Structure 1
Amino acid sequence: MQTIHRLTLEDALVVLRAAEAEAERIGVRQTICVADDGAHPIALHRMTGARLTGVEIAIAKAFTAAGHQRATHLFNEAPNGPALPGNEAFGIQHMHTGRFAVFVGGFPLVHDGQVVGAVGISGGNGEQDKAVGAAALSAFEELVADAVPA
Structure 2
Amino acid sequence: MNSKFVLSQKEVALILAAGRTEAQRNQWPVSIAVVDDGGHLLALERLDGCAPIGAYICMEKARTSALGRRESNVYEEMVNNGRHAFLSVPLLTSLEGGVPIIVDGQVIGAVGVSGVKSAQDAQIAKAAVLALQG
TM-score w.r.t. the length of structure 2 is 0.93
Q: Name which of 83, 94, 106 aligns with 2:79.
A: 83
User: Equivalent residue for 1:141?
Assistant: 133
In 2, the alpha carbon distance for the partners of 1:74 and 1:134 equals 15
**In the TM superposition, what is the alpha-carbon distance from 1:85 to its structure 2 partner?**
4.9
Percent identity of equivalent pairs: 33
In 1, the alpha carbon distance for the partners of 2:87 and 2:133 equals 29
- Alignment of 1:33 with 2:25, yes or no, is no
What amino acid is the match of 1:84? N
User: Equivalent residue for 1:7?
Assistant: 7
Asked which structure has the greater CA Rg, the reply is 1
- Give the paired residue count: 134
**In the TM superposition, what is the alpha-carbon distance from 1:127 to its structure 2 partner?**
2.4
User: Equivalent residue for 1:93?
Assistant: 87
What amino acid is the match of 2:89? M
**In the TM superposition, what is the alpha-carbon distance from 1:84 to its structure 2 partner?**
3.5
Q: Is the 8 A contact 2:33 2:62 kept in 1?
A: yes
For the residue of structure 1 that corresponds to 2:131, the secondary structure is helix
What amino acid is the match of 2:110? A
Gaps of 5+ in 1: 143-150
In 2, the alpha carbon distance for the partners of 1:85 and 1:126 equals 17
Q: Is the 8 A contact 2:97 2:119 kept in 1?
A: no
Q: Is the 8 A contact 2:75 2:86 kept in 1?
A: no
Which runs of 4 or more aligned residues in structure 1 lie more than 6 Å from their structure 2 counterparts after TM superposition? none
What amino acid is the match of 1:137? V
In 2, the alpha carbon distance for the partners of 1:118 and 1:86 equals 26
Task: Tell me how large the CA RMSD over aligned residues is.
Answer: 1.3
What amino acid is the match of 1:7? L
**In the TM superposition, what is the alpha-carbon distance from 1:49 to its structure 2 partner?**
1.3
In 2, the alpha carbon distance for the partners of 1:61 and 1:93 equals 14
Gaps of 5+ in 2: none
